[in-house]
Structure 1
Amino acid sequence: MPKAPNPLIDDGDRRGVLSAVARAVHRSRLRHPPPGPDRPAQLLALAAVVADAVGEQLTADRVVAACGDPGPVPGEVARTAARQAVQYLHIATRLRDLAADGDVALLRERALRLVLYHQWMLRQSANFAFTSHPDARTEQARLRINGLGAPGDRLRELYQEVRATAGRADRPEAGA
């Protein structure tokens, strides 16, 4: 049975309402978003997130190294590795969400790559340490794991660079 039209709303009113909605949606797309934070604010925000990533490194490095220790690896190492991987996932999300332009965007991308490496290394070391099909090759690879290595150093160096750049950007230049 066909649906009876609503006698309170005729087709002309429907078209008018739809046109008004379409115009409102179109106008909202034309509005320009508010300007993002200025360069010093972007650098300070980036420095704060990278500082958190560096702050997580000691635990992450210890967990990765523990995955490469000879003999059975305690189950607590797997739990800590999982927690640290989640921490780095949250930090990566925060980095992606940061507003960044120009050279700040390049610094943010470097930081993101290093943070994602840390997350990947935590997962891979735990996979080696807690494999369900151990074999000689896997064990040899596992025993070579000894920490985050050079990418950990690069993240700390990047933090120092971002902090120094933020300090310079925050100070007004002499003679300006």
Structure 2
Amino acid sequence: MRIPLRLPRSAAPPVPAGPPRSAQVRALVAVLDDAVAAQRPADEAVAACGEPGPVSRQTARDCGLQSIALHRLRTRLQDLRLTDPDLVLAQAQAARLLSYDLWMLRESLDLAFTVHRDARTEAARLRLNGLGRRADDLRRLRDGLRAEVR
């Protein structure tokens, strides 16, 4: 007697439909609102790493706290169960942008608190002035999705 390895198509359980697109957009926008709000203190922490003179321990703490906040937001973003293909793409783009913010915080700390100071490292550190264009990209992505909710 042979046992079938697959159920016949008619016997397969139905695939539950995901939430409506409008609910998915609202969930994504809610996380992106928090992410955009978190960018301001992260931007300030990166800029503080580029200030002339010694970098304070408070700046290091601020970078660490902002890294934690952005990591949690990226996790919340990735935990969203989106089914609409356009929203899945927006979710992936937002995750990349948050990953860039996290990378900037890490690199800023590395430049500000390097063990072996040299002129090249110091010049790179002094050019730090915030998160840059990628922060604007996240804001634009959020604003475009928010316009859909209205």
- Please say whether Structure 1 and Structure 2 have the same fold, judged by a TM-score greater than 0.5: yes
The answer for the alignment partner of 1:151 in structure 2 is 134
Quick check: 1:62 aligned with 2:44?
A: yes
Return 5+ residue gaps in structure 1 as ranges.
Answer: 1-29, 168-176
Quick check: 1:106 aligned with 2:89?
A: yes
Task: Give % identity.
Answer: 49
Instruction: Give the CA deviation at 1:33.
Output: 5.7
What does the per-residue CA deviation read over 1:127-167, in whole Å, with 9 as the maximum and x for residues that have no partner?
10011111111101101111011011111111111101222
Quick check: 1:117 aligned with 2:100?
A: yes
The answer for the alignment partner of 1:166 in structure 2 is 149
Aligned residues: 139
The answer for the alignment partner of 1:41 in structure 2 is 23
Q: Match for 1:93 among 75, 97, 102?
A: 75
Tell me, in whole angstroms, the C-alpha distance in 2 between the residues paired with 1:82 and 1:31: 47
Tell me which structure has the larger Cα radius of gyration: 1
Which segments of structure 1 move beyond 3 Å, counting only runs of 4 or more? 30-34
8 Å contact kept, 1:37–1:99: no
Q: Match for 1:127 among 90, 110, 118?
A: 110
What does the per-residue CA deviation read over 1:20-49, in whole Å, with 9 as the maximum and x for residues that have no partner?
xxxxxxxxxx65564321111110000000
Letter in 1 for 2:78: R
Tell me, in whole angstroms, the C-alpha distance in 1 between the residues paired with 2:79 and 2:16: 16
Cα root mean square deviation, aligned: 1.5
Please give the secondary structure, in 1, of the residue aligned with 2:75.
helix
Please give the secondary structure, in 2, of the residue aligned with 1:70.
coil
Tell me, in whole angstroms, the C-alpha distance in 2 between the residues paired with 1:144 and 1:112: 25
Tell me, in whole angstroms, the C-alpha distance in 2 between the residues paired with 1:158 and 1:110: 9
